[in-house]
Amino acid sequence: MPQSDESATVPADSHSPPGTKPGFLSNLGADLPASLVVFLVALPLSLGIAAASGAPVMAGLIAAAVGGIVAGSLGGSPLQVSGPAAGLTVVVAGLVDEFGWQVTCAITAAAGVVQLLMGVSRIGRAALAVSPVVVKAMLAGIGITIILQQLHVLLGGQAAGSAIENLAALPGAITNVELHSALLGLAVVAILLTWKFLPATVRKIPGPLAAVVAVTAVSVAVAPSVERISFSGSIFDAIALPSLPDGNWRAAAMAVITVALIASIESLLSAVAVDKMGGSRTNLNRELVGQGSANVVSGMLGGLPVTGVIVRSATNVEAGAKSRTSAVLHGVWVLVFSALFAGLIQLIPLSVLAGLLLVIGAKLIKVADIRTSLRTGDLLVYSVTLVCVVALNLLEGVIIGLALAALCVLWRVLRAQIHAHAPSAEALPWRVTIAGSCSFFALPRLNRVLHSVPEGQDVVVELNADYLDHAFREALVAWQKQQRNTGASVILEEHGTTAFSDAEDNTPQRQDPREFPLPPRTSWMPSGDGSKSDDDGGRLPLRSILLGIDKYHRRHADKVRPLVQDLTEGQNPDTLFVACVDSRVNPNLITSSGPGDLLTLRNIGNVVCHDGSDASIDSALSFAVKGLSVDSIVVCGHSNCGAMKAVIADAEGASADMGDGFDTWLEHARPSYSALLAGHPVAVAASAEGYSRLDQLSMVNVALQLRKLEEHPVTGPALASGQLQATGLFYDICTARVVLVTPEGIEQLDPSMAVRA
């Protein structure tokens, strides 16, 4: 993506590609040959675009020279090449027909001033806030318009004012074809279409230049009377000062805005594309300043509007250009050629340029864009924009396309997916699924779906909302009361980013997405306290394990299946996770891991033993280290641990009666209490950060289990050799944060957690 435009002052070399040196001539060895290649491509294209625009032929060369020198020097894109572009051909042709050439030059200069103001106002990125499908459809519409226009020129006739008129007159033009013109134009088309299949040594010559030169040479010999480019004088004689319009200021002002917007959008989109090809970084605001300056100069000198041109820019990158020097030199070569060899230009037949423009127009219509719009659901926007550009005009077509694109976005964003699902078995409840933006726009559909649920039927409402307003909540609550009055229960399951309760008293807003794999503990009940009873005081059936499994099958099983398909025949975890049996500790949750990642060993107090007194622990360690070759073992304690409470109570003579087995098991944890009393470093560090005596004991217990692993006959040798690592963790339930426990102390793993007083 382009570089940020936050800084108003841009260093001279800040727009150079990585690895380039500052200075105009520092990369001359690469930029000089690249500029010659771009010049050879730009020359015939500039002539053809001028001819298609109804402007003086030299206006295209003036714009090419100014675009290269002015926009190349002042613009924010180091590798973009500017000049007259096919995208404005239709607009300019209409302006010339309506206002005349000199007023069109004034419109071009005024559009440049608008671009300068846009750049100085730092709204370069805002100019990119245009739907790409509208831009692609606009270019395709321009391509069709150019093709319909230039077909008449190729056939030896005169093009009409609009695409519809050209289409209607096409049968007559074919009937009255001028054979020599048609053959010359078709020869250019054939050369350009077959050029890419020729040997690489031949393709070093730009195809447009080769086609124009070769067919022009043939025309001099075999068709001397064919209509050719005509003008008088050199490029300096073609300079024409602009003049103001004689009335109709409103149309002229609209034309200025149209040229400025289209030129800006095309230039900025081209600059972004060039950045991706050449690794450069564009300052979009500075690029607008450069393009605006070029249009002011071009308009004042009698040139066509200037934009960044992707064809020339891509040629520049492929030719090996390293800096803006290439674009500037290409403008110099255009200026020199136009001044010294203008007579050669008058040998080019108009049908030759028409053949060149036919290929250019066809390249603006891309099948890949149509496929993309079909795949992304934007075909309607693409089709309507294209038809309106061809049938009406460019500005109206783009405005209609943007309006339709905005309506499509509103429809997709504001439309909530609401469906009712009948139960598959008699004992199961109905399901109502709601997803998307839940606003008053969705109330008609919400009421229709909710009232399709029969009275007296238990209902589960699955709400997955990214936006929820008070009107939507009010309608849902009202229906809930109605359904409950019929003796049914209504339970809400929330899975979205917006909480249902927030819509009661707060301003609705979109919440940040939360990647949280567990459902909320509370249910949609009047008390809101997550208690395990329904409205009648009985047990809440939807909290049973079986209904939880049903929910898993409905919402998660299909998403889990791809994660476990590769684990069907075996497992390859990288960690053995030793944790307490406490229900509040979820190893996969706090480690952001999934199926197949953790081999879990859970017991009371998260202990290990190294004396062979517990076969279950020994077997788990052996299976993990020798059977699965895990890379690490994690011992994780937690806050407010019941086992640690029992150890402290036992030491103080107030042990709880939980049976002989529990008391015997605590032998594995009692050494931790002795270490706590002896001032273990972990206890000292935990005390300094404000942890309670109980939590200090839990942390010390983790540190002692790590030492036991070092002494265990299975894990000890692997730890000593470096084949295995052991890590201690402590899960603080009240803050939901994880702390690292080492033999020397503790470390907060979340940097946002302040050190406790």
266-286 per-position pLDDT tens digit: 888 788 778 876 667 888 899
Are residues 584 and 553 part of one domain?
Answer: no
Contact in structure between 449 and 430 (CB atoms under 8 Å):
no
pLDDT attached to residue 543: 53
Confirm whether 333 is domain-assigned. Answer: yes
Residue 148: its H or E element: helix 132-154
pLDDT attached to residue 221: 87
Are residues 598 and 646 part of one domain?
Answer: yes
Confirm whether 437 is domain-assigned. Answer: yes
Confirm whether 404 is domain-assigned. Answer: no
Are residues 584 and 551 part of one domain?
Answer: no
Per-residue confidence band for 757, with pLDDT thresholds at 50, 70 and 90: very low
Strands 737-742 and 745-748: antiparallel
Residue 406: its H or E element: helix 394-414
The Cα–Cα gap between 700 and 746 comes to 10
Confirm whether 148 is domain-assigned. Answer: yes
Helix (H, G, I), strand (E, B) or coil at 321: coil
What residue has token string 């949750």?
Answer: 589
Domains in the chain, number:
3
pLDDT attached to residue 537: 44
Angle at 643 between CA 638 and CA 649, to 5 degrees: 125
Single-letter amino acid code for the residue at 407: L
Helix (H, G, I), strand (E, B) or coil at 728: strand
Going by the DSSP 8-state scheme, the letter that residue 678 receives in this structure is T
Are residues 739 and 704 part of one domain?
Answer: yes
Are residues 554 and 604 part of one domain?
Answer: no
Higher-scoring residue by pLDDT: 466, 425: 466
Angle at 544 between CA 542 and CA 549, to 5 degrees: 90
pLDDT attached to residue 23: 54
Crossing angle of helices 249-278 and 101-120, rounded to 10°: 60
pLDDT attached to residue 545: 73
Are residues 451 and 317 part of one domain?
Answer: no
How do residues 620-636 score in pLDDT, each as one tens digit? 999 999 999 999 999 99
What's the domain range around 339?
Answer: 28-374
Are residues 212 and 336 part of one domain?
Answer: yes
Confirm whether 22 is domain-assigned. Answer: no
- Given a cut of 80, is residue 499 above it in pLDDT? no
Confirm whether 325 is domain-assigned. Answer: yes
- Given a cut of 80, is residue 641 above it in pLDDT? yes
Are residues 551 and 626 part of one domain?
Answer: no
Are residues 173 and 111 part of one domain?
Answer: yes
pLDDT attached to residue 502: 66
Are residues 715 and 618 part of one domain?
Answer: yes
> Domain of 695: which CATH number?
3.40.1050.10
Confirm whether 36 is domain-assigned. Answer: yes
pLDDT attached to residue 2: 38
In the predicted model, what is the mean pLDDT of residues 222-242?
78
- Indicate the residue among 342, 357, 374 that finishes a domain: 374
How do residues 567-591 score in pLDDT, each as one tens digit? 888 899 999 999 999 999 999 999 9
**What does pLDDT average to over the chain?**
84
Higher-scoring residue by pLDDT: 173, 426: 173
Per-residue confidence band for 231, with pLDDT thresholds at 50, 70 and 90: low
> Domain of 516: which CATH number?
3.30.750.24
In the predicted model, what is the mean pLDDT of residues 74-78?
91
Are residues 598 and 521 part of one domain?
Answer: no
- Indicate the residue among 352, 374, 396 that finishes a domain: 374
Which residues 6+ apart lie within 8 Å of 328 measured at CB? 24, 35, 68, 69, 72, 73
Higher-scoring residue by pLDDT: 230, 571: 571
The Cα–Cα gap between 66 and 514 comes to 52
CA-based nearest residue to 668, from 633, 632, 712, 630? 712
Residue 493: its H or E element: strand 490-494
Q: Which stretches within 27-100 are classed as H helix?
A: 28-53, 57-66, 72-74, 89-99
Confirm whether 208 is domain-assigned. Answer: yes
- Indicate the residue among 374, 398, 427 that finishes a domain: 374
Residue 314: its H or E element: helix 310-318
Contact in structure between 358 and 150 (CB atoms under 8 Å):
yes
The Cα–Cα gap between 77 and 286 comes to 8
The Cα–Cα gap between 159 and 757 comes to 84
Contact in structure between 80 and 315 (CB atoms under 8 Å):
no
- Given a cut of 80, is residue 380 above it in pLDDT? yes
Q: Which stretches within 279-309 are classed as H helix?
A: 284-301
pLDDT attached to residue 91: 86
- Given a cut of 80, is residue 351 above it in pLDDT? yes
| Number of neighbouring beta carbons within 10 Å of residue 55 | 26
For the whole model, what pTM was predicted?
0.62
Contact in structure between 228 and 286 (CB atoms under 8 Å):
no
In the predicted model, what is the mean pLDDT of residues 494-508?
69
How do residues 126-148 score in pLDDT, each as one tens digit? 766 778 888 788 878 878 988 88
pLDDT attached to residue 11: 38
The Cα–Cα gap between 486 and 426 comes to 18
Per-residue burial over 476-499, b if 16 or more Cβ lie within 10 Å, else e, is beebbeebeeeebbbbbbbebbbb
How do residues 662-711 score in pLDDT, each as one tens digit? 888 888 889 999 999 999 999 999 999 889 999 999 999 999 999 999 99
Are residues 341 and 235 part of one domain?
Answer: yes
Higher-scoring residue by pLDDT: 73, 526: 73
**Beta bridge pairs of residue 434:** 418, 463
Higher-scoring residue by pLDDT: 363, 513: 363
pLDDT attached to residue 18: 41
Cα atoms in the Cβ-side hemisphere of radius 13 Å centred on 560: 12
